[in-house]
């Protein structure tokens, strides 16, 4: 995400543009469009900071229900191996951070504030996956890397 000749204005915070894993289906509906997770830190009414995540895209996707779809922020940023050596039904043993998605086109307030920067405790440059739980097991629906918005 290098600066080039783009006239796009920075929105602040962080963004992940996630591309579907090629063989993924959700309730027999092929996931073919990208989606976005937009992270921003906000001050709430009791003067405490929290991270807000806006889930954009896949608004027409059936099968993405509350509680059975979540995001995992991994410790690495490597997309060269889609599942980083994991079996398709296996979860990473210790992700950097994980949270439930409330369904497409929704906004969630995370229980803690994430550092929207680079470094040991920052999320920029880390791989992020959208996961789905089903009777067949756990599937990775889409992956991307977190960057500046």
| CATH number where 66 lies | 2.60.40
Mean pLDDT lowest among 9-13, 111-115, 136-140: 9-13
Structural domain count of the chain: 1
Q: What is the pLDDT of residue 109?
A: 93
- Among 5-9, 102-106, 120-124, 144-148, where is mean pLDDT lowest? 5-9
Is position 119 within any domain? yes
Segment 99-107 shows an average pLDDT of 85
Q: Is the pLDDT of residue 30 over 70?
A: no
What is the rounded CA–CA span in Å between residue 46 and residue 117? 24
Q: Which range is most confident: 16-25, 41-50, 55-64?
A: 41-50
Residue 4 domain-assigned? no
Does the residue 8 lie in any domain? Answer: no
Within a domain: 1: no
Is 50 a domain residue?
A: yes
- Determine the average pLDDT of the residues in 108-130: 94
Q: Is residue 95 part of a domain?
A: yes
For the cut 90, the answer to whether the pLDDT of residue 88 exceeds it is no
Q: Which two tokens stand for residue 105?
A: 């086109």
Determine the pLDDT at residue 22.
Answer: 64
Q: Decide if 73 is inside a domain.
A: yes
Please, which pLDDT band fits residue 10 given cuts at 50, 70 and 90?
A: low
Asked if the structure places residue 105 within a domain, the reply is: yes
The pLDDT score that the predictor gives to residue 137 is 75
Domain that holds residue 129: 14-148
Average pLDDT for the chain: 79
Q: What is the CA radius of gyration of the chain?
A: 15
């Amino acid at each position: 995400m290098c600066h080039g000749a783009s006239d796009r204005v920075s929105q602040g915070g962080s963004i992940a543009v996630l591309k579907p894993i090629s063989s993924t289906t959700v309730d027999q509906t092929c996931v073919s469009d990208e989606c976005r997770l937009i992270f921003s830190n906000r001050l709430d009414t009791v003067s405490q900071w929290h991270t807000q995540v806006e889930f954009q895209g896949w608004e027409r996707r059936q099968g993405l229900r509350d509680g059975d779809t979540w995001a995992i922020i991994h410790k690495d940023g490597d997309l060269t191996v889609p599942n980083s050596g994991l079996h398709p039904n296996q979860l990473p043993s210790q992700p950097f951070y994980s949270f439930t998605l409330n369904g497409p086109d929704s906004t969630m307030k995370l229980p803690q504030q994430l550092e929207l920067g680079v470094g040991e405790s920052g999320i920029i440059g880390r791989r992020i996956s959208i996961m789905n739980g089903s009777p067949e097991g756990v599937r990775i629906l889409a992956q991307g890397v977190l960057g500046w918005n």
